């Protein structure tokens, strides 16, 4: 399928249209040329272009993250996706130096995280960035309230204050009434809500999630995904979300970064990733996705032809195809895709059916 150039960055434009700050504001987080190499003489491996297996055989080193650069905007839900072993966990841990990066630059609101001394780094972890873990990482000997208040306790907040704040976030994640339960008395989903509340308690600017729902069963996972979407809307935090599940990435992400063997393969909005995969790896990845659920009209509209009637119904360019099917098929004339006053193109049953027929294959 050919990609109309106008369609680039559709979601980003959409959100920037909604909130003009975004385009101008500097990114919350900027990562440039990040490397993490495990093994002896890690420094000397930085810059190497050997494939992972060969590198391992020659030097005994594993390049878990190689030369990754990206920026995360304020308030964005940024998803990092890749298969097991692609280096996602390593990448996200490098951001707060839970794993020490080997090379590169990490700027948090313009401040170089790699230059921070120990004290400053603790400050950043205590106030600016919090993390949610795959297996929750709760303290089994503490009740929910004390688990959630743990981060505040560590930074020396007085007991009444930290309990008040902890109760507040426990309510926010829907765990009210379980303050005095212990982790092993809770289901997996509830435990992860505790993990979420603990991260939120410090009121950080950025939340990191390392495959937070992989250990949960599918129903609970869906419920928790909706919970995160709700929280994202309510608290408006910047979130970096790791997953190996494409549907989760498409569902949550404003933008998605795809990794393979430690390298960045593509960054883009969900419809870019599905509509314009950067290479065969990504194409393979997204081949099972029902395109009509992800792509918008912008992706399938065509230039108006001389013979077209240009007085048909009007739809926006960011309407997902699935939602436009009925309107387009029932219209007698081509549907006009209009952004404000401007006519971008038209969509007819032919384009819609082509997409849907493609899914059946």
Ligand X SMILES: Nc1ncnc2c1ncn2[C@@H]1O[C@H](COP(=O)(O)OP(=O)(O)OP(=O)(O)O)[C@@H](O)[C@H]1O
Indicate whether 198 belongs to the interface with other proteins (CB under 8 A): yes
Query: Stretches 49-57, 89-97, 269-277, 323-331: which one binds Mg ion (CB under 5 A)?
Result: 89-97
Size of the residue set binding Mg ion (CB under 5 A): 1
Give Cβ neighbours of residue 133 (< 8 Å, ≥ 6 apart).
Answer: 195, 210, 212
3-state SS string for 81-127: EECCCCCHHHHHHHHCCCCCCCEEEEEECCEEHHHCCHHHHHHHHHH
Cα-based distances in Å from 116 to 97, 112, 240, 263, 344? 10, 7, 21, 26, 48
Indicate whether 214 belongs to the interface with other proteins (CB under 8 A): no
Indicate whether 195 belongs to the interface with other proteins (CB under 8 A): yes
Distance (Å, whole) CA 135 – CA 129 = 19
Indicate whether 175 belongs to the interface with other proteins (CB under 8 A): no
Helix (H) or strand (E) holding 35: strand 29-38
Indicate whether 181 belongs to the interface with other proteins (CB under 8 A): yes
154 binds, among ligand X, Mg ion, other proteins, none (CB under 5 to 8 A by kind): other proteins
62 binds, among Mg ion, other proteins, ligand X, none (CB under 5 to 8 A by kind): ligand X
87 binds, among ligand X, Mg ion, other proteins, none (CB under 5 to 8 A by kind): ligand X
| Site for ligand X, rule CB under 6 A | 38, 62, 64, 82, 84-90, 244
Edge-first strand listing for the sheet containing 263-268:
129-132, 206-210, 238-243, 77-82, 255-260, 263-268
CB of 84 to ligand X, least distance (A): 3
For 48-83, b where at least 16 C-beta lie within 10 A, e where not — what string?
beeebeebeeebebbbbbbbbebbbbbbbbbbbbbe
Indicate whether 130 belongs to the interface with other proteins (CB under 8 A): yes
Distance (Å, whole) CA 208 – CA 130 = 6
The correct pick among 10, 59, 86, 89 for binding Mg ion (CB under 5 A) is 89
CB of 100 to other proteins, least distance (A): 12
Indicate whether 131 belongs to the interface with other proteins (CB under 8 A): yes
Indicate whether 124 belongs to the interface with other proteins (CB under 8 A): yes
Interface residues with Mg ion (CB under 5 A) are 89
Interface residues with other proteins (CB under 8 A) are 93, 96, 98, 122-127, 129-131, 133-143, 150-151, 153-155, 180-182, 184-185, 195, 198, 202, 208
């Amino acid at each position: 399928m050919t990609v109309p150039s106008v369609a680039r960055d559709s979601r980003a434009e959409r959100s920037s249209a909604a909130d003009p700050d975004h385009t101008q504001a500097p990114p919350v987080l900027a990562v440039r040329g990040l490397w993490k190499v495990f093994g002896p003489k890690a420094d000397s491996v930085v810059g190497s272009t050997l494939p992972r297996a060969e590198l391992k055989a020659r030097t005994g080193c594993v390049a878990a993250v190689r030369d990754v650069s990206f920026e995360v905007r304020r308030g964005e839900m940024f998803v990092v996706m890749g298969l097991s072993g692609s280096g996602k966990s390593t990448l996200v841990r490098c951001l707060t130096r839970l794993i020490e990066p080997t090379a590169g630059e990490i700027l948090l609101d313009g401040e170089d995280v790699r230059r921070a001394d120990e004290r400053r780094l603790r400050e950043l972890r205590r106030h600016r960035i919090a993390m949610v873990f795959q297996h929750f990482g709760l303290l089994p000997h503490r009740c929910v309230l004390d688990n959630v208040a743990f981060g505040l306790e560590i930074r020396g907040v007085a007991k009444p204050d930290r309990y008040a704040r902890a109760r507040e976030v426990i309510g926010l994640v829907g765990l009210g009434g379980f303050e005095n339960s212990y982790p092993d008395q809770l289901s997996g989903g509830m435990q992860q809500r505790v993990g979420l509340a603990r991260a939120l308690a410090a009121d950080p600017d950025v939340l990191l999630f390392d495959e937070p729902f992989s250990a949960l069963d599918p129903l609970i996972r869906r419920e928790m995904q909706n919970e995160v979407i709700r929280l994202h809307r309510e608290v408006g935090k910047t979130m970096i979300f790791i997953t190996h599940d494409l549907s989760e990435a498409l569902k949550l992400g404003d933008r998605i970064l795809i990794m393979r063997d430690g390298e960045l393969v593509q960054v883009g909005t969900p419809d870019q990733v599905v509509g314009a995969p950067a290479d065969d790896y990504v194409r393979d990845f997204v081949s099972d996705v029902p395109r009509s659920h992800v792509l918008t009209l912008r992706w399938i509209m065509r230039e108006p032809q001389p013979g077209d009637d240009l007085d048909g119904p009007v739809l926006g360019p960011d309407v997902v195809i699935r939602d436009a099917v009925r309107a387009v098929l029932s219209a007698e004339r081509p549907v006009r895709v209009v952004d404000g006053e401007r006519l971008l193109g038209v969509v007819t049953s032919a384009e819609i059916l082509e997409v849907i027929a493609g899914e059946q294959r």
